[in-house]
Amino acid sequence: MNIPLHKLLLLILDIVVITVSVIAGHFIYFFFISHTFATGEWHLLQFEDFLFFVLLPFFLSYKLYRYHVILNLPRHLATLIKALLNGFAVVLFIDFLIKSKDLFNGRFLLLIILALLFFIFFFARVLITPRVYQYLLNRNYINKKLLIIGAGEYGQEMAAYITQNKHEYYDVIGFLDDDGEKIGQQVNGWTIIATINDIQAVVSKHHVKDILIAINNIENNRLNEIIKIVRSTNQNVFIVSKHFKDVSEKLDMEEVGNINAFKIRSVDKSVYDILANMYDFVLAALAIVLTSPIWLILVLAIKYSSKGPVFYKPEVVGRNQKTFRMFKFRTMYHNSDTTVHRKYVEEIIRNNEQTKKLTNDNRITSVGGFLRKYSIDEFPQLINVVRGEMKLVGPRPCLQYEVNVMEDWHKQRFLIKPGLTGLWQINGRNLVPFNEQIAFDIFYIEHRSFRLDFEILIKTIPVVLFGKGGK
């Protein structure tokens, strides 16, 4: 991973501040408070002292190494306080688990260290670092070349916004555009360098590291083609477009010149995928065992409410568009006609409508309505997770007749295994328009991680409990 020098130096500063705070905290406590320094009854840097380095992942998680945060004093201070308090809570929790004696004195020492961390970080990070950063920025010691894809009105607007920001370290080198006739033209001081198909040569010649796709007036399929061309450069790719507007507003996105942008990551996910399969298997198997009494009650309720099998097992489309049998608790009368549903979802996909379920559907049983509202009918898909056909988190599986009417760019959702829940389920569920669902799925595919999986699973719980969007 190529870490910018200024971010590496800031990381070193954080390590130094934590180390100094811990050592100074011990000195203050044992010399001035417990008065055991002179007698030799003191200790330095025991195991629990190193727990304070757990703050570094919190700093990274709260984006405290991004220049947009560093240069914004109120945001920097608020984020720093939040990261310190959350990290300190973890330190206290771990310390409580490993330390059974001298609880009061031990916690008092930790509080002294926390106070020092606040004071030194405020001085070093909030007051000094932004001034050093701005000094380096003004003298062009730190800057990055940015290539913008799209020389239209929106691309020009983004270029102007970025360059007018005095805190910005991006140097816009020019535009690439689909229209070959524009090559060589000047647009507000920037040159339209070449067509999009020539991007490899442009990136190599100008040593570009970051690329911003800023196009609004374009079809989704063509935008997807451009994304594929641009990501082949293996550079950082950011997208600002009306096609990803809803996702940008609802998720914590990357920032390019204070602009929320959808980032395309060229990162190998093979290790994550292997480990995710393992923990999905363990968690799904454990969930089946723990909820088995509930399953038994549901089986009896389904059998009592109507004739037919307990499980409904439609053939669905999963990873790489391979089909498999998905398990669900049956919520409709046995052998119900699917024609109405087929026509309904086809219209939703073609017209980009919200994927609300059919209302007044007389095919649904009395028990089935309750199961569907709270997504309890999805529980048996834990079996599919154990069998390796699904994940706990991922895009939802589709029926074949849904796939038949999808556009090409929609089918990116099949790049990974489908899941029980996903990003759009916690950002509106069935109230989300279809294209926005696909955008959420693409974001998840690009950014999938254990942290994101955990966040989605936790946020799914209240959505299911309150049946939001599940009618």
Write the CATH number for 193. Answer: 3.40.50.720
Task: Give me the mean pLDDT over the 180-187 stretch.
Answer: 89
For the chain, what is the domain count? 3
Residue 95 lies in a domain: yes
Same-domain check for residues 112 and 167: no
pLDDT at 287 (0 to 100): 93
Q: 40-79 in b/e burial notation, b at 16+ Cβ within 10 A? A: eeeeeeeebbebbeebbebbeebbbbebbbbbbeeebeeb
Same-domain check for residues 60 and 97: yes
Tell whether the model's pLDDT for residue 104 goes beyond 60: no
Q: Domain span at residue 53?
A: 5-138
Residue 427 lies in a domain: yes
Query: Could you give phi then psi for residue 268, rounded to 5 degrees?
Result: -70, 120
Which of 264, 299, 314 is the last residue in one of the domains? 264
Nearest 5°: CA angle at 470, between 469 and 471?
A: 100
pLDDT at 249 (0 to 100): 60
456 vs 102: CA distance, rounded Å: 39
pTM for the full predicted model: 0.75
Residue that is written with structure tokens 């709270």 in the block: 374
Same-domain check for residues 185 and 319: no
Mean pLDDT over the full length of the chain = 85
Same-domain check for residues 96 and 228: no
Same-domain check for residues 118 and 148: no
Task: Give me the mean pLDDT over the 127-138 stretch.
Answer: 85
100 vs 93: CA distance, rounded Å: 12
Same-domain check for residues 291 and 397: yes
Same-domain check for residues 281 and 325: yes
Residue 20 lies in a domain: yes
415 vs 395: CA distance, rounded Å: 9
Tell whether the model's pLDDT for residue 110 goes beyond 70: yes
Residue 323 lies in a domain: yes
Same-domain check for residues 301 and 380: yes
Nearest to 378 by CA among 355, 396, 362: 396
Same-domain check for residues 134 and 150: no
Least confident of 43-47, 123-127, 269-273, 332-336: 43-47
Same-domain check for residues 158 and 231: yes
- Name the maximum alpha-carbon separation found in the chain: 86
Task: Give me the mean pLDDT over the 336-354 stretch.
Answer: 88
Same-domain check for residues 186 and 253: yes
Which of 138, 153, 181 is the last residue in one of the domains? 138
Which of 243, 264, 285 is the last residue in one of the domains? 264
Same-domain check for residues 274 and 157: no
Residue 470 lies in a domain: no
pLDDT at 424 (0 to 100): 85
Residue 383 lies in a domain: yes
